[in-house]
Structure formats: structure tokens, C-alpha cells
Amino acid sequence: MTMIKIDQYFEPASWQKFTKLLKVARRLFLVVDLSRIETKYHEMVSLFPNAKLHYAMKASPAVEVIDLLANLGSNFDCASIYELDRVLGCGVEHLVSHMATPSKKAEHVKYAFEKGIDLYATDSEADLKNIAKHAPGSKIFVRILVQGSETAEWPLSRKFGCHPNMAIDLLVQARELGLVPYGISFHVGSQQKDVAAWDDALSKVKYMFDWMKNEEGIKLQMINLGGGFPTNYISEVNPIKVYAEEITSYLTDDYNDDDMPEIILEPGRSLVGGSGVLVSDVVLISRKSDTDLTRWVYTDVGLFQGLIETLGEAIKYPVYTPKMETSTSEGTVVLAGPTCDSTDIMYEEAGYQLPEELEIGDKIYWLTTGAYTNSYSSVEFNGFPPLEVVYID
Ligand SMILES: *Cc1c(COP(=O)(O)O)cnc(C)c1O
């Protein structure tokens, strides 16, 4: 793997904004540039003009991010009452949000319903009955299982969702239970590199829409296309524009203008990933034997301070150090975190290259760390405090 170039990730002016802050950093922290989230939001809205965006707030649940997106007009995808409280606490009651997780405690459904939430995801009979009891009359969408786990860098498609035939039964049962059978959702897996994953999922959805109308006389009204849109890590991905064009053409092939369902998108990673730079120090450089060609580079950030998505080396963050600008030779490194847990190794197989001139005390910048980092950071494993975040705009 060759070393990265900063201009693949940042316009010069935008990188300068970061570096001003990075130079004064004396501790581990994440810098989040809110203006980059704003740019991404506008891009997504303009590429999908007929869709409603529900920000999947688990990607970065900070008040700063919620306030920004709420002001831009975003809706929110809340997966727990805690996320719901966070959104409501930011004063965004007028925006639709829903409980996206198909497994919910009864008292949590009751609580959400009392707060005015009337749109729920489900994928099982027990959960559906739970919703019918505690959120009567609500709108229901059923999450189906779809393909895509091989081409998603962080697959999400196995835990939730059910077979389309079961989803049909649930939607029919929803009506019997006094709920509104409203639509279908899926998630093709996060950082999904294959645009065709949506095509596959949408063909299942189309079959279900037709079946429900013809066999049950139920006109479904909504398709939730989930998240999965990529951000800019090491491996190359298509621009979001390509995703938008392809998905729009799948939809217009399947539906006419006058029967086009309401479309919901739930982007998380693609909106916020590119906004973050994690600033870490090199704590130790060592080798496992005198002849070992690989250096072990230990940093003060690891899986427990926000880099959990490096598990299995799934997400490969661009790693940058200023010495790359002047380095004359580079070598392979293992990158490891600061704790005693041997899981706390970010990259061993990936073959990251860093300058031979790298020294203890140098800074390492982890680019594209705006998504799924601070919310995953542990509270005090080995005594390390949670990841601090600084917001700039
Ligand atoms: C996590 C999640 C998302 C966001 O996915 P990204 O790949 O980060 O865009 C969207 N919808 C649901 C239901 C999720 O669980």
C-alpha cells in the first residue's frame, strides 16, 4: 500500500483550517469540520431531490452535528429513546423521526409514541404486536434481508431484516392489528462499494409492492433505501453522484411518476465521515526482532478510542504524517493502539507504509474519521478517557 497524498482528501484551504488546530494539539482528539458535513448534506439533497433524508445519527450523535443538520432541514433516524431524547433536546420536534431498530422494549415504544413518533420499523411478529399495543395506529415499515455483505466494508445486513415473504405477512398482519402498512426498508451494508446492491434490493421491493396491491389490496407508500453510501477511505469508491443516478434509474424503471412511492434515505457515514481528522501521537516504535523488517508503531489512539471499525481491518482509514512530504524512504508498519488488549491492533495485514524517518512524538493524522468514532469510544478501558472532539466550521 503506497503512502497517501493529502490532496486526495482535502482542498488546500480546507486542509489549512485543520492544520492550524493540529499544530497546537498536545493530546489525542478528533477535529470535526462542520462545514464539510454541510457540503455533503447539500450534495445529497441535490442528487436525490425527491427523497427525504433521515440522518442516521449513530454515525455521529453530537449536538453540534444535530443542530447543524436540523437547521438545514434534515430529518433524523433514531434507533433508541436515548437518541430520540437527544434529537428532541435539540428542539427538532417538528421533524419526523422514527425508531429504526426492529427490536424495541415495550416501555421504549410507549415512550416514543408519547413523544409523537408514529413511524416504526419492524421485522418480526413479536415486535409488530409490541408496536400495535404501545403505539396504536402507527405507520409500519418492514425491513427485509438483502444481499450486499461481500461488497460492503462494514456489513450491516445480517442482524436485522426478514425474508420478503415474511415481510408481506407482517404488513398484512399490521393492518389487522390496526396499524398502517406503510412501506419497506433495507440496508445494503455500510460503505457499500457495489451500486448494484440497491438494484437487487429494489427488485425485491417492487415484487412486494405489486403483491401487496394485487393480492391484498394494500397500497404501500414508502421505500426506505437505508444508508450504505460511501465516504472517502483508502480504497476507491464511485462518487455519490453515480449512486444517485443508478438508484434513480432503478426507481424510474419500476414506478411511474404518478405512483412513485415516498423515498427515504438514511445516510450516516457518507454525510459525516469526511468531516473528521483524528490527531494522534506516535508513542513507541519498535521491532519484534533485530532482523524484523516491519516496524510496530504504537499510537495513543486505538480500537477503544474510536477506531473500532478497524476490527478485522475492515475500514481502512487514510493515515497521514507530515514527514510524508519530505520523506525519502518508507517502510511497512503495523499500527497498534495504546491498551493492553491484543485486539487493539488497527492494521497488521493491510501493509500500511510510513516514512522511515518517523520518530516517537511525531503526529499521525487519521483522515475520514468523522463517522463511527467518537460514539464508539470506550469510557475508560485501561484508564484511557473517551475521545475528545473539537468542532470547527
Ligand atoms: C447505521 C444505519 C444507517 C446508516 O448507515 P451508513 O452506512 O452509515 O450510511 C442507516 N439505517 C439504519 C437502519 C442503520 O442502522
Element (H, E) at 326: none
| CA distances, 288 to each of 25, 285, 295, 299, 346 (Å) | 30, 10, 8, 17, 17
| CA distances, 196 to each of 5, 312, 336, 357 (Å) | 30, 25, 35, 43
Task: Tell me the mean pLDDT per 10 residues along the chain, length 393.
Answer: 89 89 77 97 97 95 97 92 92 69 84 92 94 96 91 82 96 98 96 96 97 97 97 96 98 95 97 97 96 95 97 97 94 97 97 97 96 96 95 92
pLDDT at residue 54, rounded to an integer: 94
pLDDT at residue 19, rounded to an integer: 85
End-to-end CA distance of the chain: 32
Question: Does any ligand 1 atom lie closer than 6 A to the CB of residue 370?
Answer: no
CA distance 365 to 278: 6
In a domain, 59, yes or no: yes
Question: Does any ligand 1 atom lie closer than 6 A to the CB of residue 155?
Answer: no
Domain end marker among 234, 253, 272: 272
Please check whether residues 143 and 280 belong to one and the same domain.
no
Please check whether residues 66 and 26 belong to one and the same domain.
no
pLDDT at residue 1, rounded to an integer: 77
Please check whether residues 60 and 80 belong to one and the same domain.
yes
- Domain with residue 360: its CATH number is 2.40.37.10
Domain end marker among 227, 244, 272: 272
In a domain, 1, yes or no: no
Please check whether residues 78 and 210 belong to one and the same domain.
yes
CA angle centred on 238, ends 323 and 371, rounded to 5°: 60
- Number of neighbours of residue 350 by Cβ within 10 angstroms: 16
Domain end marker among 250, 272, 294: 272
* 235 CB-near residues (< 8 Å, 6+ apart): 153, 193, 316
Please check whether residues 101 and 21 belong to one and the same domain.
no
CA–centroid distance, residue 120 to ligand 1 (Å): 15
Question: Does any ligand 1 atom lie closer than 6 A to the CB of residue 323?
Answer: no
CA angle centred on 199, ends 193 and 205, rounded to 5°: 130
How many domains does the chain fold into?
A: 2
Please check whether residues 196 and 295 belong to one and the same domain.
no
In a domain, 284, yes or no: yes
Question: Does any ligand 1 atom lie closer than 6 A to the CB of residue 270?
Answer: yes
Three cell numbers, residue 231: 465516504
pTM, rounded to two decimals: 0.95
Q: At what angle are helices 34-47 and 240-254 packed, to 10 degrees?
A: 30
Number of the ligand 1 atom closest to the C-alpha atom of 269: 8
Please check whether residues 321 and 372 belong to one and the same domain.
yes
Please check whether residues 139 and 202 belong to one and the same domain.
yes
Please check whether residues 299 and 196 belong to one and the same domain.
no
CB 104 within 8 A of CB 84: no
- Domain with residue 264: its CATH number is 3.20.20.10
Number of the ligand 1 atom closest to the C-alpha atom of 371: 8
Please check whether residues 155 and 217 belong to one and the same domain.
yes
In a domain, 203, yes or no: yes
CA distance 323 to 330: 10
In a domain, 86, yes or no: yes
**Range(s) of the domain holding residue 239:** 35-272
Please check whether residues 213 and 73 belong to one and the same domain.
yes
Please check whether residues 362 and 323 belong to one and the same domain.
yes
pLDDT at residue 230, rounded to an integer: 98
